[in-house]
Amino acid sequence: MSIEELTVVADHLLRIPRTDFEGRSEPYATREALEDMLDRHKGTPGIRKARVALERARVGSDSAPETRLRLALEDPGLPEPLLNLPTELGAGVVRQPDLSYPEQKVAVEYDGEGHSEVAQIVRDIAREEDFARAGWILVRISKRHMERDARPAVAKIRSALLSRGWNPGPEN
């Protein structure tokens, strides 16, 4: 497996489940338990890649596409986004974007297959309106944006961050 795929697995093992949907409240593993497991298998083929993947793993990603998107954003030097952080957009309006940059008020949603269903489209429009009313930009990413090493997704999010005052520094 590649480091990216190992990171996807690590994110899945570390993520805090949504009890309402999953019927469990604890992650499959803790970072410490995974580190201990790697320590017990020193010298095993692939262990170095697994260590790098665990270093890149974050708690908060709810899906493999979200992890892949986060990694694609970090590789070219974009700031690390917050993951699935509840964000208050107004009185009683809380949304939880897949990735967010609160300082720039940029939220990112990965819209997978389920976002083509009528009821979900209605919810997505309401979500976008909530962000707009609060002065946020909502960047929607689809499978199409993840082609060519996610360059279209990175360009779209980079543009949103730049429009909100993000200063990338000389190397970006």
Same domain, 68 and 14: no
Residue 154 is which amino acid? Answer: V
pLDDT in tens, 101-156: 999 999 999 988 766 777 888 998 999 999 999 999 999 999 999 999 999 999 99
- From 59, 86, 108, give the residue that closes a domain: 59
Return d(Cα 70, Cα 48) in angstroms, integer: 21
Q: How far is C-alpha 164 from the chain's CA centre?
A: 20
Report pTM.
0.90
Same domain, 156 and 80: yes
Same domain, 164 and 124: yes
Same domain, 37 and 92: no
**Structural domain of residue 46, as residue ranges?**
1-59
Same domain, 152 and 119: yes
Sorting pLDDT into bands at 50, 70 and 90, what band is 172? low
Closest to 99 in 3D by CA, of 84, 111, 117, 116: 84
Mean pLDDT, the chain, rounded, equals 93
Show the beta-strand stretches assigned E in 49-111: 82-83, 87-90, 93-95, 99-101, 106-110
Q: Tell me the two tokens of residue 141.
A: 């990413």
Same domain, 52 and 96: no
Question: Domains in the chain: how many in total?
Answer: 2
Q: Determine the angle formed by the axes of helices 64-74 and 3-14, rounding to 10 degrees.
A: 120
What percent of the chain has pLDDT above 90? 81
Same domain, 71 and 144: yes
What pLDDT is attached to residue 126?
Answer: 93
